């Protein structure tokens, strides 16, 4: 079974339903978002997470924002849409899909300015339709990523993945985990090592849960066990997702990914990044320019409700790091595979894709 992380229910007066990922694996709870503030809070607090899922969620959130407009005036609706985009864009800074989805909906909505007699209802319909299109495209892109990448998983392989890049992180069946789902469909037998992914344990809580639901052999390990497993030759490939890939191929992903890429290089293990083309940000040349989100100190200060650090200790809690393109064996997208990515190869790949 592959879970559906998010779903819009109803028409322009409907609501967004999300799996509350903060409660997994102990509880399977769904949130019903009927206000834009609920969508912002869900993104900010990681009730919904993963770059593609954040983008789709935000696109649907614009419908809820527009419902606050009184009257039927299109101009008032466009002003509200702009403010709603700015509001949701402030929720998290690193995942490019958030900004890509908001901008795409906003650009689509501008087409109404030339339609005589268009009002708020038409704007709501256009925004909902575009959000739905982004959602359905993500479902298809996830499947294609899996089909393009499954060849990298061989019978008997040990695969390491970091954080969660599965169905819970997208509108479809995931990015990195989609590769595994497609290899599993072909009858290949392999073992996935899901590292815990401190401090919020997305690997232990979410990835392990998803893979178990799908019937894939999964073993949870601590983050600091990876190097030893590699030395023991238990890991044959690393496959992760990405939250932003810039022009030269550097890729931002959950904190700890960079360390895995260095270990993989040292042990001659291929390191693959699976992500849709919407994750590329060609406006940034290199990884040093990617904005890195700083998370709440209490994520490190506490484990559950128990404080685990002394009072008065400084905390540094970046949510992401950047893997150098030179340490990436290939980037797997819905349009194909970019082997040993460079700026030239990425530009050519995306131009061909478009």
DSSP state of 204: I
Axis-axis angle for helices 120-149, 176-185 (nearest 10) = 60
Is the separation of the CB atoms in 102 and 278 below 8 Å?
no
| Structural domains in the chain plus CATH codes | 6-143 (1.20.120.420), 148-353 (3.40.50.10470)
Whole-angstrom distance, CA of residue 192 vs CA of residue 211: 8
Provide the phi-psi class of 270: left if phi over 0, else alpha when psi is between -120 and 50, else beta: beta
pTM for the predicted model, two decimal places:
0.91
Which pLDDT score, from 0 to 100, does residue 88 have? 97
Kind plus residue range of the DSSP H or E element containing 252: strand 251-254
Which pLDDT score, from 0 to 100, does residue 288 have? 97
Residues with a catalytic annotation lie at 243
Whole-angstrom distance, CA of residue 199 vs CA of residue 197: 6
Is the separation of the CB atoms in 8 and 60 below 8 Å?
yes
Pick from 203, 241, 206: nearest CA to 220:
203
Which pLDDT score, from 0 to 100, does residue 241 have? 97
Which pLDDT score, from 0 to 100, does residue 114 have? 66
Whole-angstrom distance, CA of residue 89 vs CA of residue 56: 13
Which pLDDT score, from 0 to 100, does residue 322 have? 98
Q: Which two tokens stand for residue 70?
A: 């009184």
Is the separation of the CB atoms in 77 and 66 below 8 Å?
yes
Which pLDDT score, from 0 to 100, does residue 321 have? 98
Print pLDDT tens along the chain (354 aa): 678 999 999 999 999 999 999 999 999 999 999 999 999 999 999 999 999 999 999 999 999 999 999 877 888 999 999 999 999 999 998 888 999 999 999 999 988 776 766 788 899 999 999 999 999 999 999 999 999 999 999 999 999 999 999 999 999 999 999 999 999 999 999 999 999 999 999 999 999 999 999 999 999 999 999 999 999 999 999 999 999 999 999 999 999 999 999 999 999 999 999 999 999 999 999 999 999 999 999 999 998 889 999 999 999 999 999 999 999 999 999 999 999 999 999 999 998 866
């Amino acid at each position: 079974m592959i879970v559906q992380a998010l779903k819009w229910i109803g028409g322009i007066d409907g609501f967004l339903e999300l799996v509350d990922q903060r409660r997994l694996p102990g509880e399977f709870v769904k949130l019903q978002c009927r206000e834009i503030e609920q969508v912002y809070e869900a993104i900010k607090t990681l009730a919904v997470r993963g770059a593609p899922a954040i983008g789709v969620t935000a696109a649907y959130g614009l419908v809820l924002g527009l419902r606050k407009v009184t009257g039927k005036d299109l101009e008032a609706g466009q002003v509200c849409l702009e403010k709603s985009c700015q509001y949701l864009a402030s929720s998290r800074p690193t995942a490019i899909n958030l900004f890509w989805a908001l901008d795409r909906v906003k650009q689509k909505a501008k087409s109404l300015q030339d339609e005589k007699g268009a009002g708020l209802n038409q704007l709501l319909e256009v925004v909902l339709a575009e959000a739905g299109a982004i959602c359905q495209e993500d479902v298809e892109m996830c499947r294609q990523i899996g089909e393009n990448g499954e060849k990298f998983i061989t019978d008997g392989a040990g695969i390491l993945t970091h954080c969660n890049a599965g169905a819970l992180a997208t509108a479809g069946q995931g990015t990195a985990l989609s590769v595994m789902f497609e290899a599993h469909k072909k009858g290949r037998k392999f073992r996935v090592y899901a590292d815990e992914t401190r401090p919020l344990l997305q690997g232990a809580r979410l990835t392990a849960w998803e893979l178990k639901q799908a019937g894939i052999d999964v073993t949870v390990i601590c983050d600091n066990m990876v190097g030893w497993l590699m030395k023991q030759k238990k890991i044959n490939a690393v496959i992760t997702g990405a939250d932003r890939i810039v022009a030269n191929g550097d890729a931002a992903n959950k904190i700890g990914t960079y360390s895995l890429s260095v270990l993989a290089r040292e042990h001659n293990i291929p390191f693959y990044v699976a992500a849709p083309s919407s994750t590329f940000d060609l406006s940034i040349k290199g990884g040093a320019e990617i904005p890195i989100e700083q998370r709440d100190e209490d994520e490190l200060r506490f484990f559950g409700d128990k404080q685990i650090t002394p009072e008065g200790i400084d905390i540094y809690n970046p949510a992401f790091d950047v893997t150098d393109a030179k340490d990436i064996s290939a980037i797997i997208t819905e349009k194909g595979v970019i082997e040993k990515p460079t700026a030239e190869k990425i530009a050519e790949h995306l131009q061909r894709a478009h």
